Amino acid sequence: MLSKYKTYPLGNFIEQIRGVSYKKSDVSEVPKEGYIPLLRANNIQAGKLVFSDVIYVKKELVRDSQLIKKDDIVIAASSGSKEVVGKSGQAHSDYDCSFGAFCKLIRAKENINPRFLGYFFKTDYYSSSISNSVNGANINNLRNEHIDNLLIPIPSVSTQEKIANVLDKAQELIDKRKAQIEALDQLTQSVFLEMFGNLKGEKVPLSELCDVNPSKKEIENIDKELPVTFLPMAKVSENGELDLSESRLIKEVFDGFTYFREGDVLFAKITPCMENGKGAIARNLINNIGFGSTEFHVLRPKENVNSTWLYYLTSLQSFRKQAEANMTGSAGQKRVPKQFFSKYKVVLPPIELQNQFAEIVHKIQSQKEIMKKSLEELENNFNSLMQQAFKGELFND
């Protein structure tokens, strides 16, 4: 790493600790006396440790050094995906919790500011160095020497503290903006429940309000050289956002992929995407036509059904839980069957009320877009500050 500060091997400033090895019989999916939470690679998200979807391991298997302490950095050290290897999250307090054998823990020695160290693991230099190391290996494993041999710029302890303080404040602004965006998502769900949660009237099967997985016959005679939107499952977020950057010709996707068109509601039918809330309204498609993952159900609203109302209905936790209860198939391959939409019954609100809800959602989404642009600016500023900090351009030492 090029820097005005002198660089040293990272191994001079850290201790590396291996994760807990365990057998299937040593873990529980639910809290249990004598067991403690154990983090895995999926619990490292966006530079933070996430304590949902954890497993529990017998405490007798965990050494004291393997308990996560304040400022420790947990790293994904082994994975079938090279993109996962190296991602890190820093603990902000002591936890009666440990981490699995496919992870490792970085603990700062007394000769470095631990918050300064934590930001080093967010630099592009760290990411690219780990990526190069892993891509050169036959197995996606991060060895101790991959970490120890990294060069880290080391200013004085007082300058490390200044850098950490500046980056903490920049990160705090990012976290606040993310919380505001999340609050807007929650507001939309609250408005839906307020407007439609206590509706009275005859309940009808949801399949009577929408066509489920419409036939491709209506476009069989369309020019097969026509470009259309292509949408893999990975391009759908858990907040209903779509990445529509990929297009293909109809002839390349007509057979074997799910067909949808403008205004259709997409509903992820597989585990874990369904439980995680994946779904969206298909909008801004190329030529109003899309193809994509066969792991979606396509719901096409009938007359007097607004797409926005239908999408937020299928986004409700209560709806997802009933869908989950009706899944079929073996563990890890479970799917929501098409028949579920015939079993699930709902009161259809007046179209005027649905349209009113859609207008409210549009206003909330407009505010959300402003917040997202602001978040992007904050993140760009943070990355610029971090680059300057480690190059020695932020403070003279």
Do 63 and 143 have their domain in common? yes
124-135 and 351-391 helices, crossing angle to 10°: 90
Burial 99-121 (b: 16+ CB within 10 A, else e): bbebbbbbbbeeebbbbbbbbbb
Alpha-carbon gap, residue 136 to 138, rounded angstroms? 7
pLDDT value, residue 139: 57
From residue 284, alpha-carbon distances to 194, 229, 367 in Å are 29, 9, 19
Q: How many residues does the chain have?
A: 397
363: domain CATH number is: 1.10.287
Structural domain contains residue 258: yes
Do 239 and 188 have their domain in common? no
Do 255 and 376 have their domain in common? no
pLDDT value, residue 135: 66
Per-residue pLDDT of the chain (397 residues; tens, 9 = 90+): 789 999 999 999 999 999 999 999 999 999 999 999 999 999 999 889 999 889 999 999 999 999 999 999 999 998 877 788 999 999 999 999 999 999 999 999 999 999 999 999 999 999 999 888 776 555 578 889 999 999 999 999 999 999 999 999 999 999 999 999 999 999 999 999 999 998 999 999 999 999 999 999 989 889 999 999 999 998 998 888 899 999 999 999 999 999 999 999 999 999 888 877 899 999 999 999 999 999 999 999 999 999 999 999 999 999 999 999 999 987 667 899 999 999 999 999 999 999 999 999 999 999 999 999 999 999 999 999 999 999 999 998 7
Alpha-carbon gap, residue 248 to 256, rounded angstroms? 14
Range of the domain at 306: 203-348
Structural domain contains residue 2: no
Do 294 and 381 have their domain in common? no
Per the structure, the count of domains in the chain is 3
Do 41 and 137 have their domain in common? yes
Structural domain contains residue 221: yes
31: domain CATH number is: 3.90.220.20
Alpha-carbon gap, residue 276 to 258, rounded angstroms? 20
Structural domain contains residue 315: yes
Tokens of 112: 């470095």
Burial 186-207 (b: 16+ CB within 10 A, else e): eebeeebeebbeeeeeeeeebb
Alpha-carbon gap, residue 186 to 166, rounded angstroms? 31
pLDDT value, residue 201: 92
Structural domain contains residue 289: yes
Alpha-carbon gap, residue 90 to 333, rounded angstroms? 33
